Amino acid sequence: MNCQWQMGVLVMRECGMPAAAGCAICSRPICAAHTMMGQNGPACPGCAAHTAGYGENDDTEIAGARDQYYSQYGGATQFGSRGYFSRPDSASMAQRGLQQKPTQQRQYDDKET
Amino acid sequence: MSTPVVEALSPAATQAVAAKVLTGAWSGRALVKLLGELEKWDVVIEAKKAKMNKLWIGSMIGAFVGFILMFVLFPYGIALFLIPFVLIFIFKKQLNGLEAADIPDELRKSVRPVLKQLGQDLHPEEKIKGTIQLTGIDESRCKLKKDLPPGHNRSLKLSVYETEVCDLRLPLADGSTAVLRLNNTFHKLERSYRTTRGKCKSKTKWKKAVTATAMLIPPVRWNWEPARMQKYVDKVNEKLSFAEKNGVMAARLDRYYKFKGIGNAPVATVPAEDIMKLFVRLSGMRPAGGTR
């Protein structure tokens, strides 16, 4: 079985390397490069980014940012059904409750002309 | 003006600092690494600038105190005034040199984080092409200078500076191309007037208008589905458009910002998250299925 972690933000695609373990949180197969070790056992970067007790690296940073961006524009509901995320990604997004969120307070004046 | 010595920079970064521009083709990793070096350089320059600014202000205070002591301790007290007075000019010259060597914050706050986050989306073999300007406000970039109609006892001078901070073409793994452009326009309004007591006073106000442009050029003709993301486009500050590019229809999303500053030009810039959100929304308009 191959690693099902989806890399990227705009052009998401599966890693495809041979899987070495399964994510203890979302149970998708993951390769050694995408395995994050933490208090709940091996986890994929997406789950590690949202669970306490896991370290940070480029993959978790991208996974966290990707969830944040997509959740503001409909999240798993909007994108998952259109083939933007794999089924495990959509499921884990839904599981984490990453639905549409209000945008953050801006530091500049939107209305200024 | 003296430029600080470039220490521990790679030849490419040294060249970029000297030329004040980055032009060419790079792999994603190489560009992020190069920008990282320039970021460190920028941090060092900022620290030196802050230190030099303190020294400059200190020498001005010293010259003032020395001026008073000069009369008390005449004739030996002249040195107490002259030394800090000369130092004012030396420190100011060095401060100007450091300001000239300073790199715009857009590089650190906008461009590099975006490139880092898009690192996994980039085509592994193709290269990023484009230009990144490393100069800030420069007289050579002044597009307009005019005296506005003055009122009672005052003059108004408007200067407009335009800078294209970056224009990058990022080849993505699915064959499409993402284009990132950042354009800065600075409006400097200098107002000087005479008070009723006859004092001349002046105030400078700055406005910085930034246009962040994200474009997605597909490898083949796509039927974009803008309806899906239309509701997420800010009608006041954003503009969504489609344009024919090399036989395909490219989607473009512009976002406009305005920042204000009094005295000095505003240093605030477009957050990297906002640029990423432009790309995410463009990506969300891709036709469903069959695109990758």
The pLDDT value given to residue A80: 58
pLDDT at A1: 82
Q: How confident is the model at residue B166 (pLDDT cuts 50, 70, 90)?
A: very high
| pLDDT confidence of residue A100 | 45
Using the Cβ of B172 and the Cβ atoms of chain A, whether some distance falls under 8 Å is answered with: yes
For residue range B256-279, list pLDDT tens digits in order: 999 988 878 888 889 999 999 999
| Tens-digit pLDDT profile for residues B101-115 | 788 888 888 999 999
Answer whether A62 touches B (CB < 8 Å).
yes
What is the reported pLDDT for A68?
A: 85
User: Which of B174, B276, B292 minimises the CB distance to A9?
Assistant: B276
The answer to whether B46 and B99 have CB atoms below 8 angstroms apart is no
Given an 8 Å threshold on Cβ–Cβ distance, is A108 in contact with B118? no
pLDDT of B213 over the 90 cut: yes
* Residues of chain B neighbouring A73 (CB-CB closer than 8 A): 229, 232, 277, 280-281, 284
Rg of chain B in Å (alpha carbons): 25
User: Are A108 and B268 within 8 A, CB to CB?
Assistant: yes
Domain spans in chain B, listed from the N-terminal domain onward: 9-103, 126-283
What total of structural domains would you count in chain A?
Answer: 1
Q: Does B167 touch chain A (CB under 8 A)?
A: no
Does any CB of chain B come closer than 8 Å to the CB of residue A58? yes
Q: Considering only the beta carbons, identify the residue of B172, B234, B273 that sits closest to A11.
A: B172
Residues B232 and A73 sit within 8 Å (Cβ to Cβ): yes
User: Looking at residue B76, what is its pLDDT?
Assistant: 79
Distance from CA of A112 to the nearest CA of B (A): 7
Q: Is A62–B117 a contact, with Cβ atoms under 8 angstroms apart?
A: yes
Residue numbers in A near B236 (CB within 8 A): 110-111
Question: A14-65 pLDDT, tens per residue?
Answer: 888 999 889 998 888 999 999 999 888 899 998 898 888 888 888 899 988 8
Cβ distance A9 to B173 less than 8 Å, yes or no, reads: no
Q: What is the pLDDT of residue A98?
A: 52
| A69, A110, A112 ranked by CB distance to B280: nearest | A69
Chain A residues touching B118 at Cβ < 8 A: 9-10
Distance from CA of B256 to the nearest CA of A (A): 9
Query: Structural domain of residue A58, as residue ranges?
Result: 6-95
In the predicted structure, residue A101 carries a pLDDT above the cut 50: no
Mean per-residue pLDDT for B87-98? 90
- CB-closest option in A13, A72, A78 to B173: A13
pLDDT given at position A99: 45
Contact A10 B119 (CB under 8 A): no
In a domain, A76, yes or no: yes
When pLDDT is cut at 50, 70 and 90, the band that residue B292 belongs to is: very low
Residues in chain A within 8 Å Cβ distance of B289: 82-83
Find chain B residues with C-beta within 8 A of A8's C-beta: 120-121, 173
What was the ipTM of the complex prediction? 0.79
What was the pLDDT predicted at B179?
Answer: 95
B231 touches chain A (CB under 8 A): no
Structural domain contains residue A113: no
pLDDT on residue A112: 55
